[in-house]
């Protein structure tokens, strides 16, 4: 374990020499935390706040997984035309809308909850797949293994923060609707940071060849 943590520390230290990659990772920590919290808390929100039955929640989760495959393919086509960076930014706008719409979903209306789940599936698969693809271009050639290890470690290390905010807001307001809306902050901050990433410069600094559209 000591060797693993030492390697992780060395990689993080070296990452400071790639400021665009570091900024991208910081943005990712925010918006990914929002995504994971929405996914992890959706069943709680559906059952306790909206009064959706457990069987209907389970059915919605199955539909989300199927739709996510199509969403990844759709986002891939959009990225091929407009670039992965712009497409991910667009995906974060959609995630912000998803959280906002979730606040207004009426209680005990399964069709509305299912429609929200379909929208989540569309943007979930595409955003996560493109984020990994974009990060791979910002990683120095030959260092993919350790940089992706750092990617995973940072993701797991902060994955509790969104859940903490969700829980604290509920404790203070006794409303899951306000808890879900509070997650907008993660997408806004993540989007603002991602918008500041100079992707072409980051790819160049990593020693990789930039695609025609980024």
42-205 is a CATH 1.20.1250.20 domain: yes
Q: Which residues contact residue 47 at a Cβ distance below 8 angstroms, ignoring those fewer than 6 apart? A: 53, 54, 57
* pLDDT in the model for residue 23: 95
pLDDT at 126: 87
For residue 90, what pLDDT is reported?
A: 95
pLDDT at residue 4, rounded to an integer: 63
3-state secondary structure 45-114: HHHHHCCCCHHHHHHHHHHHHHHHHHHHHHHHHHHHHHCHHHHHHHHHHHHHHHHHHHHHCCCCCHHHHH
Would you kindly state where each structural domain of the chain is located, as residue ranges? 42-205
Q: How far apart are CA 144 and CA 35, in angstroms?
A: 24
pLDDT along the chain (214 residues), means of 10: 67 83 92 91 93 95 92 92 94 95 95 95 89 91 81 73 92 94 95 96 91 81
- In this predicted structure, what is the pLDDT of residue 144? 83
Task: State the Cα–Cα distance between residues 4 and 116, nearest whole angstrom.
Answer: 41
């Amino acid at each position: 374990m000591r060797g693993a943590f030492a390697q992780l520390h060395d990689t993080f230290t070296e990452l400071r020499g790639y400021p665009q990659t570091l900024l991208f990772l910081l943005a990712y920590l925010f918006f990914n935390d929002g995504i994971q919290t929405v996914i992890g808390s959706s069943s709680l929100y559906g059952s306790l706040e909206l009064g959706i039955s457990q069987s209907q929640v389970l059915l919605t989760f199955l539909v989300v997984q199927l739709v996510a495959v199509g969403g990844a393919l759709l986002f891939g086509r959009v990225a091929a035309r407009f670039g992965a960076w712009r497409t991910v930014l667009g995906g974060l706008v959609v995630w912000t809308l998803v959280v906002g719409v979730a606040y207004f979903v009426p209680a005990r209306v399964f069709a509305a909850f299912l429609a929200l789940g379909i929208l989540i599936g569309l943007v979930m698969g595409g955003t996560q797949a493109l984020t990994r693809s974009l990060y791979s271009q910002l990683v120095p050639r030959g260092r993919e293994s350790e940089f992706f290890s750092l990617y995973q470690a940072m993701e797991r290390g902060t994955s509790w923060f969104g859940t903490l905010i969700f829980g604290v807001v509920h404790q203070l307001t006794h409303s899951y609707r306000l808890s879900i809306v509070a997650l907008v902050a993660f997408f806004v901050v993540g989007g603002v940071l991602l918008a500041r990433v100079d992707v072409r410069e980051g790819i160049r600094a990593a020693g990789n060849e930039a695609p025609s559209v980024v």
